[in-house]
């Protein structure tokens, strides 16, 4: 990638702070003065940086110009370009270690996101892998929702509650909306379209194992199903913590994947198709789902009831019990 000279492309936003950056030696370099603004909280980040350089040399024996900093042309407020102290991602992380700041961890996550986006843009295989796992997670989400539709989770509110439980255990948060706010995603956006491959895989494992436990144990009812989903996520999270891996909420946020990037043509058509009011509605389909129980000590399954899942083009299937 060549150096990007357009002013609008040499700016990045961290919260409400504008960070100048430039592409140099095949990686991004950031204006250190701009980084100091959110990191230090000082009203004069230029002076703070000057004092920090002296302190690092006196107390740590570190000459930043020999190890971390390069002077690179950066745009100024009047449209000119002048040499400015800059550091790449590794260098900025080194500086963050020397500044006690409540913004240290958010800045690290922000830098990780930029690094991930840069890697994806430069690696077509990484992009294809990400779109593959986005589609795979969609199918696992769909399979799980179809499975529990026969076991007590039918309404949109119940399905959303299950989605919250899927995220709650894995991310250690209350649910989807809290995670969207934590990630600073647009409200109403699709959380899963901002994930990276590693995060998709963690979610895929949670969905597939939750579905497996629900089937193997014949879990019934909203509360029991949600408890399983959350517990599976908790166990995955504990394993990640035990091996010292990166927790899902700390994984970088990626550029949003539009539906057309990861959906198959057939799937894209099915989710975007609206029934024309002048056309006949689709014929209703009544699917009979037998619910069995294996009593303790018994050799054969006992039929408890039959449930009917009726789909007729509505937003959600309707359930009808036997005899209704």
pLDDT tens column, 193-213: 889 899 999 999 999 999 999
| Same domain assignment for residues 44 and 138 | no
Q: What is the pLDDT of residues 41-73, one digit of tens each?
A: 888 999 999 998 888 888 777 777 777 888 888
| Same domain assignment for residues 104 and 195 | no
pLDDT of residue 4: 35
What CATH number has the domain bearing residue 88? 3.10.260
Domain count, the chain: 3
In angstroms, rounded to a whole number, what is the distance separating the alpha carbons of residues 122 and 17?
26
| Same domain assignment for residues 136 and 240 | yes
140 located within any domain:
yes
Q: Which residue has the higher pLDDT, 89 or 5?
A: 89
| Same domain assignment for residues 201 and 305 | no
pLDDT confidence bin for 241, thresholds 50/70/90: very high
| Same domain assignment for residues 153 and 251 | yes
Residues of the domain holding 291: 285-321
* Tally of CB atoms within 10 A around 190: 15
pLDDT confidence bin for 303, thresholds 50/70/90: low
273 located within any domain:
no
152 located within any domain:
yes
User: Would you say residue 97 has pLDDT above 80?
Assistant: yes
SS3 130: helix
In angstroms, rounded to a whole number, what is the distance separating the alpha carbons of residues 247 and 263?
27
User: Would you say residue 259 has pLDDT above 90?
Assistant: no
pLDDT confidence bin for 322, thresholds 50/70/90: very low
280 located within any domain:
no
269 located within any domain:
no
Per-residue HEC secondary structure of 231-299 comes to HHHHHHHHHHHHHCCCCHHHCCCCCCCCHHHHCCHHHHHHHHCCCCCCCCCCCCEEEEEEEEECCCCCC
Six-digit token pair at 183? 């990630």
* Tally of CB atoms within 10 A around 293: 12
pLDDT confidence bin for 293, thresholds 50/70/90: low
pLDDT confidence bin for 117, thresholds 50/70/90: low
The Cα-based distances of 154 to 13, 159, 219, 274, 310 in angstroms read 41, 7, 15, 22, 11
State which of 90, 114, 138 marks the end of a domain: 114
Phi/psi at 286 (nearest 5 deg)?
A: -105, 110
171 located within any domain:
yes
Instruction: Give the DSSP H or E segment for 73.
Output: strand 70-75
| Same domain assignment for residues 12 and 140 | no
pLDDT of residue 211: 97
| Same domain assignment for residues 129 and 258 | yes
Alpha carbons within 13 angstroms on the beta-carbon side of residue 10 total 24
| Same domain assignment for residues 130 and 238 | yes
User: Would you say residue 79 has pLDDT above 80?
Assistant: no
pLDDT of residue 298: 63
| Same domain assignment for residues 155 and 39 | no
**Mean pLDDT across 280-294:** 53
279 located within any domain:
no
**Mean pLDDT across 85-108:** 88
| Same domain assignment for residues 179 and 294 | no
pLDDT of residue 292: 57
Q: Which residue has the higher pLDDT, 280 or 156?
A: 156
Per the prediction, the chain carries an average pLDDT of: 80
| Same domain assignment for residues 132 and 255 | yes
| Same domain assignment for residues 168 and 298 | no
């Amino acid at each position: 990638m060549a150096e990007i000279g357009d002013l609008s492309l040499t700016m990045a936003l961290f919260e409400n702070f504008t960070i100048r950056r430039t592409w140099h030696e095949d990686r991004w370099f950031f204006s250190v003065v701009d980084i100091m603004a959110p990191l230090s909280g000082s009203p004069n980040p230029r002076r703070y940086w000057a004092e920090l350089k002296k302190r690092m040399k006196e107390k740590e024996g570190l000459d930043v110009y020999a190890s971390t900093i390069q002077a690179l042309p950066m745009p100024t407020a009047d449209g000119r370009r002048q040499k400015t102290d800059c550091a790449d991602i590794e260098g900025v992380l080194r500086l963050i270690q020397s500044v006690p700041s409540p913004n240290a961890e958010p800045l690290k996550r922000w830098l990780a996101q930029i690094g991930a986006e840069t890697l994806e843009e430069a690696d077509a295989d990484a992009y294809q892998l990400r779109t593959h796992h986005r589609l795979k997670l969609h199918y696992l989400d769909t399979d799980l929702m179809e499975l529990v539709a026969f076991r007590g989770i039918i309404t949109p509110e119940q399905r959303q509650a299950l989605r919250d439980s899927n995220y709650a255990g894995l991310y250690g948060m209350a649910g989807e909306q809290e995670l969207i706010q934590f990630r600073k995603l647009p409200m109403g956006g699709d959380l899963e379209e901002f994930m990276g491959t590693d995060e998709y895989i963690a979610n895929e494992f949670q969905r597939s194992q939750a579905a497996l436990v629900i089937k193997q144990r014949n879990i019934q009812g909203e509360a029991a199903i949600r408890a399983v989903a959350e517990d599976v996520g908790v166990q995955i999270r504990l394993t990640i913590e035990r091996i010292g891996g990166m927790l899902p909420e700390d994984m970088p946020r990626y550029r949003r994947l539009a539906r057309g990037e990861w959906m198959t043509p057939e799937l894209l058509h099915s989710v975007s198709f609206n029934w024309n009011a002048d056309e006949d509605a689709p014929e209703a389909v009544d699917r009979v789902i037998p619910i069995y129980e294996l009593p303790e000590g018994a050799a054969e399954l006992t039929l408890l009831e039959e449930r009917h899942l009726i789909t007729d083009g509505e937003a959600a299937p309707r359930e009808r019990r036997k005899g209704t």
